[in-house]
Structure 1
C-alpha cells in the first residue's frame, strides 16, 4: 500500500497502484449479502487488456445458486479506469445478457463498447441479478440480498 507518505497523509491511489493494493482490491464484493462466488458456480475468464468477460458452457439452472422465485438472470460487466489523483472515472458497461433459468447451455461473452480513457487503475466488475416473470412481465428481485457485484480484475 502507500509506503511513501506518512501515516495520516497516505493516498489511496498510491496504495492501490502497488501489487499488494491491487491484490486486496480484486475480489471486493459491493453487496455483503450476496457474494458472487457463492451465487455463480461457473468459472469465468477475464481479459484485463480488453475488459471482456467470458463464461463458457454456462447453464443457468446448474451454474447459479439463486432464489427459488427467480425465473431469469442477467449478467453484465463494467470496465472502468479510476484516476485517484484527478478524481476522474471513465467506464464502459457491457450490454447485459439476460437468460431464462433453465438448462440451456450458452456462451456468455460480455464486451464493453469501448476502452476507458485516461490514466489510473483499470477495474473489471461483474454483476449478477435475478428476476421473476409474472403474467409475462419480468420484475427485478430487489430485496438487497440477491444481486451480486464484484471486482474481478485489477490492473
Structure 2
C-alpha cells in the first residue's frame, strides 16, 4: 500500500490507483478494483468462515423446502420459535455427514445415518402439544402398508383443551429427496371424533407418494369446537400437535 508524501492530496480513483484518506488522517493509495478485499477473503484465516457460510446456506435451503413440504401440518398455527429449532436440527444433521469434507457437508448425507434418522424421529415440531401424551394410547406405523394402527384408545383419556368438542387426526406420508429437494406428501382422510367416540382401536392409511427419497410418517392432531353445526378450529399451542411416527 502506497502513502502520499506530496503537497497535493488526492481522493478518488485515477487509472488503476485508488486514493483515499485513512482514519488517522493520512492520505494513502492502493490498487483499484477491490483487490485488497478479495485477497483478504481468501486468506487462510478466512477459510473456515467461508466453509461455514457455504454449509449454512445449503442447510437453510434444505430446511426451508422440508418445512414447506410439511406445510399442511405446520401452517395451522404460527410458531415463532419453530424456525430456530429446525435450523438447529438441520445443522446437527449436516454435522453427521462423514462422507464429504468440511464446506461440502450436507443434510442428505447426515440423515442417512442411524443417528440422523433418530434425530428427526425425536424432533418436537409442537413441543407444547405432544400427540402421544394427549391421545394416551398406543401408536404403531407400518411403512410397508403405509398404515397407522391405534390401539388401547379411550376417548375419555384424551386431553381435550377447554371448550373443545371434537378432535381430528390426519396421517401424512412424506417422501423427500435431500439431494434434489423434490418431495411428495400423501395424507389420509381426516378422522373426526367427538367425546362420545366409542372405538378402542382403528387404522389410518395413505396412498404412496409419487417421488422417491427418505420416507417420513407424521401424525397431525387438531381440536375443534362445534357451535350449531359449525366447527371452529383451535389454534392455541396446546391444541395443535404434529409428531413424527417414523423415518425410513
What is the TM-score of this pair, normalised by structure 1?
Answer: 0.90
Structure 1 residue 4: deviation in Å? 1.2
The structure, 1 or 2, with the larger RCO (C-alpha pairs under 8 Å, 6+ apart) is 1
**Deviation at 1:107?**
2.8
Residues in 1 aligned to 2:149 and 2:97: alpha-carbon distance in whole angstroms: 33
Greater fraction helix: 2
Distance across 2 between alignment mates of 1:136 and 1:116: 34
Change (3 A) 1:128 1:134: same
Check if 1:7 corresponds to 2:102.
yes
Q: Deviations over 1:119-151 (max 9, x none)?
A: 311010011111111122211111233110011
Secondary structure in 2 matching 1:21:
helix
- The aligned counterpart of 2:125 is 30
> Once superposed, which parts of structure 1, at least 4 consecutive aligned residues long, lie more than 4 Å away?
none
Map of 2:59 onto structure 1: none
The reply to whether residue 89 of structure 1 matches residue 179 of structure 2 is no
Report the equivalent of 1:61: 156
Aligned to 1:43: 138
- In structure 2, do the counterparts of structure 1 residues 51 and 27 end up closer, same or farther at CA, with 3 Å as the change threshold? farther
Listed as ranges, the gaps of 5+ residues in structure 2 are: 1-95
Give me the whole-angstrom Cα distance separating, in 2, the residues matched to 1:145 and 1:44: 20
1:128 maps to which residue? 221
Structure 2 CA distance for aligned equivalents of residues 9 and 60 of structure 1: 49
Deviation at 1:106, TM superposition (A): 4.2
Distance 1:33 1:127 in 2: 14
CA RMSD in angstroms comes to 1.6
Equivalent pairs counted in the alignment come to 153
Q: Which structure shows the bigger proportion of residues in strand conformation?
A: 1
Determine whether 1:110 maps to 2:181. Answer: no
- What SS does the aligned partner of 1:26 have? helix
